[in-house]
Structures are given as C-alpha cells and as structure tokens.
Amino acid sequence: MHEKKVRVGLMGLGTVGTGVIRLVEGHQDDLLHQTGMGIEITRILVQNPSKERAVSVNSDLITDDPFSLLHDPEIDVIVEVMGGVEPTRAYILEALEQGKHVVTANKDLMALHGGEILKKAAEKECDVFYEASVAGGIPIIRALVEGFSSDRITKMMGIVNGTTNYILTKMSQEGLSYNAVLKEAQELGYAEADPAADVGGLDAARKMSILSTLGFHVGMNLEDVDCQGITGVTSEDIEYGKKLGYVMKLIGIAKQDDELIEVSVQPTLIKQSHPLASVNGVYNAVYIHGEAVGETMFYGPGAGELPTATAVVSDLVTVVKNMKLGVNGRGMVAPYRQKKLKNDEEIWAKYFVRFIVADKIGVLSHITKVMADHNISLEQIIQQPYQNSNKAELIIVTHSASKKSIKGILKQLHELDYVDEIKSSYRVEGGE
C-alpha cells in the first residue's frame, strides 16, 4: 500500500486545467502503480468561483485566494495552468519559497523568467518541470534534458506554433490568401481573436528560447531570438516555392557552430523532401541533429486539452517519483556555458528572393554580376513576364550566403533603376 497521498494545488481551471483533472481522476490506478503513491487535487484556484465548469468538481475545493494554496502546508505540488506572466511569476516563486514543487505549462513565464525560477528551485531543492510549455503533448523537453544528455546538439528546427502551421498549410493546399485563412482559423477556434502573438512569431520565439537554453546549455533570452512572423507571406510566394521544390513553414531555427549560436523564427522555405515539410495543420514537430545520434524528429499535437494535460501530468508523475527517491531539485541542469551569439556575418543560409525588374536584355546578367560582387552565387532562377506589363518577375534561390551579404544585396538591388520592387525574401532550409 502507498504510505500517503501527494496533495496538489491546481492553479487554473480552463482547458488544460480541466484536462489535468480528467487525467488525474481517471488514471488513479495507473498513477498509483507508477509512483507508489496516490495523487489528489485538494485545492483549485479560479478567477470566478461561481462560473459553470466543463468538469464536475467539489465546490469546496474551489477558491479565488491564491494563498490558500501557496501557504497550505498540506499541499506538496503546485500545478500552474492559469497562464500570464504576472502575478503568476510571484505565485510560483512563493510556492518554491514555501518548499512546494512546481509543474507549469507557461511558456511565456519560462521564456522570460525561467532562469530566476530555476535558480529559486535549486536554492530550495524543489522540482520545476515545464514539459507542456513547448509543443503540447510532445515530450521534447524531457528528450533534450535526458535523451540527449550524452550527445552534443548542433541544430534544432521546429514547427512549434499550431496556428501559423494551420494557416500556411491551408494557404498552400487551397491557394487562399493569408487574411481569408486567418478569418477561417478564428472561426474554428484555431486562432485567437487577437492572433498577434501567434502570427507575429512571438509564441514560437518564446518556445525556441526555452529549447535553445536546454539544448545548448546557455541562458537564452527572448530578445536573443531574431523573430519574424507570417503576416507578409503571400500565396504567390508559396506557389513559387512549390515550383522550386519547397514548402513554406514558420520555422524556429537554433544552430550551434563552434560555440557560436544563432536562434531565429521566420517564414522559411523548406525542401519538400525534408521531414518537417510534411507536418501539416495544427501539428507540431521538432527536428534535432546531434553529433552522435544524427537526425531525429519529434512529432505530435502541439496544443489541446488532453495532449497538453498529458505533458503536465507526466511532469507531476516525475515530481512524485523524485519525492519517493528523495532527489527533488536535482533533475534540471542550470545553463553552464557562456552565451556567444553569431553576428550577421556568421549566420549562413540559402535565400529565396522574388522581385520585379525591367524586362530588358542584359538585366539578368547585370543582377548576377551584382550578386557575384557580394560573393553570392545562384542555385535556381525563374524569370517570367509580370502582369501584361513591360516588366518581368524574377525569382532566385541563392547558394549559402551570409546574412550580411544578403542584407547588402537587397539594399543595393532596391536602389538600381531597373529593379522596380523587391516582393519578398525568405530563408531556405533542408536542401543540404
């Protein structure tokens, strides 16, 4: 028989909180056999105690007073699924101060204040786990911390935002405009009424800062992530990408070369043969390259009540197992390497550029000469008439070039008389 029950204070009873209750109550036998202890949710923090709930809970458990959870000596673990940065950060720090372990699904909080929270956890010998903060039900954080602990990760590429992946998938498959698909995604509940954090790339950037911190053992901040969203992506860009053998995705890239690191989130044209190219709809995937293991990919639902709640309860099980073994607070490795970020000269990639030029003899050869002067060579070219005018549309894919060179060439092309407009430029990945 188990010697005692682990008592849990649940902060938040929205979609994920409801899923946590369903899993904890529905899997008591499994949890008991896995941990040797019962798990009981003894207090639930909500904003409005009188609100109708999607799950039936004893009204005696519900409170709107956070300190009835934080200062209850009987509660062993705080599970935070309420979201937001403040006052959530203060609550979690207070929970750790009181010696309580913490499980959170809060990517915003961990991206902005993860270092402070993990430091406090180490001081108090408490666990802090946050698997659900990145890619919903995919166990990517545990894989990075445990599965790759003996390897050296050189590159991570992730589709870590379901909303943008849904939008780009629909644009690609149905030829629709960005605005038309966004409206549909909002009606279906895949996109928020204010979708700025998703479509602007901020949500993905937060997740990439968490993944790069863990994967490279450095303290990455949100401002270290070069971030660009999908609002400027057009159906024309997507169609030209297809003609050249690429699929448009919002990709988070974290790369490490000789201690130098780059982390970015941007619309990227990825080779159709690459595993990430076939990740569609609201699904997420993280592709990892390790020096020893080579290529691996983790794929699954990136959000939703039960996938995200599964990651939360999985972390909760780990906390309880650690309590049994008396090893709480020893699982997470704090960043121990110095952060050295690449500059634009040190970031190399292929690029797709689409622009409108005068349809005259010699223009193409002049443009290739300008590019050669910047040490940029071309891998693919499409040229065709543009909208029944005396102009041509030119689409090029470069060989690998530095970000500095690409910025320089775009500036120079923009100033040339025979270049009418630079329509778009995107990073290209997966063709190595």
Q: Tens digit of pLDDT for each residue in 119-156?
A: 899 899 999 999 888 877 788 888 888 888 888 999 99
**pLDDT of 47 strictly over 70:** yes
Which segment, 36-50, 341-355, 385-399, is predicted with the most confidence on average? 341-355
pLDDT of the residue at 241:
96
Pairing assessment for the beta strands 38-45 and 5-11 based on DSSP bridges: parallel
What angle is formed at CA 70 by the lines to CA 100 and CA 89, rounded to 5 degrees? 85
Question: Is residue 424 a contact partner of residue 232, using CB atoms and an 8 Å limit?
Answer: yes
pLDDT of the residue at 3:
56
Q: Summarize pLDDT for 244-277 with one digit per residue, the tens.
A: 999 999 999 999 998 999 999 999 999 999 999 9
Q: What is the dihedral of CA 116, 122, 126, 132, to 10 degrees?
A: 50
Q: Summarize pLDDT for 191-225 with one digit per residue, the tens.
A: 888 999 999 999 999 999 999 999 999 989 899 99
Closest CA to 255 of 288, 206, 299: 288
Tokens of 390: 């005396």
Mean pLDDT across 63-80: 96
Specify the long-range contacts of residues 289-293, CB closer than 8 Å, at least 24 apart: 289/153, 289/154, 289/155, 289/156, 290/148, 290/151, 290/152, 290/153, 290/154, 291/151, 291/152, 291/153, 291/154, 292/150, 292/151, 292/152, 293/148, 293/151
pLDDT of the residue at 394:
93
Specify the residue for token string 């200062």: 71
120 assigned to active site:
no
Q: Give the separation between CA 162 and CA 44, rounded to whole angstroms.
A: 28
333 pLDDT tier (thresholds 50, 70, 90): low
Q: Summarize pLDDT for 1-35 with one digit per residue, the tens.
A: 345 789 999 999 998 999 999 999 999 888 888 88
Question: Percentage of the chain surpassing pLDDT 70?
Answer: 98
Mean pLDDT across 366-374: 89
Specify the residue for token string 């798990």: 39
In 10 A of CB 421, how many CB atoms? 12
Closest CA to 202 of 111, 123, 301: 111
Mean pLDDT across 311-327: 91
332 pLDDT tier (thresholds 50, 70, 90): low
Question: Is residue 210 a contact partner of residue 106, using CB atoms and an 8 Å limit?
Answer: no
pLDDT of the residue at 31:
87
When the pLDDT of each residue in the chain is averaged and rounded to a whole number, the result is 91
Tokens of 381: 């070219």
Largest Cα span, the chain: 86
CA distances from 50 to 5, 62, 64, 242, 391 (A): 28, 9, 10, 52, 65
pLDDT of the residue at 357:
93
pLDDT of the residue at 1:
34
Compute φ and ψ for 100, nearest 5 degrees.
-95, 145
Q: Which of 107, 124, 170, 207 is catalytic?
A: 207
Question: Is residue 298 a contact partner of residue 285, using CB atoms and an 8 Å limit?
Answer: yes
Question: Is residue 48 a contact partner of residue 41, using CB atoms and an 8 Å limit?
Answer: no
Q: Summarize pLDDT for 153-181 with one digit per residue, the tens.
A: 999 999 999 999 999 999 999 999 999 99
Secondary structure (H, E, C), 298-350: EEEECCCHHHHHHHHHHHHHHHHHHHHHCCCCCCCCCCCCCCCECCCCCCEEE
Tell me the angle at which helices 403-415 and 363-373 cross, rounded to the nearest 10 degrees: 140
pLDDT of the residue at 2:
42
State the amino acid at position 75 in one-letter form. I
Question: Is residue 88 a contact partner of residue 79, using CB atoms and an 8 Å limit?
Answer: no
pLDDT of the residue at 51:
84
pLDDT of the residue at 330:
77
Domains and CATH numbers, the chain: 5-136+305-325 (3.40.50.720), 140-301 (3.30.360.10), 348-429 (3.30.70.260)
Tokens of 431: 């063709």
Question: Percentage of the chain surpassing pLDDT 90?
Answer: 66
pLDDT of the residue at 64:
94
- End-to-end Cα, the chain, rounded Å: 56
Q: Mention every residue, 6+ apart, whose C-beta is less than 8 A from residue 78.
A: 8, 9, 11, 69, 70, 91, 92, 95, 100, 101, 102, 103
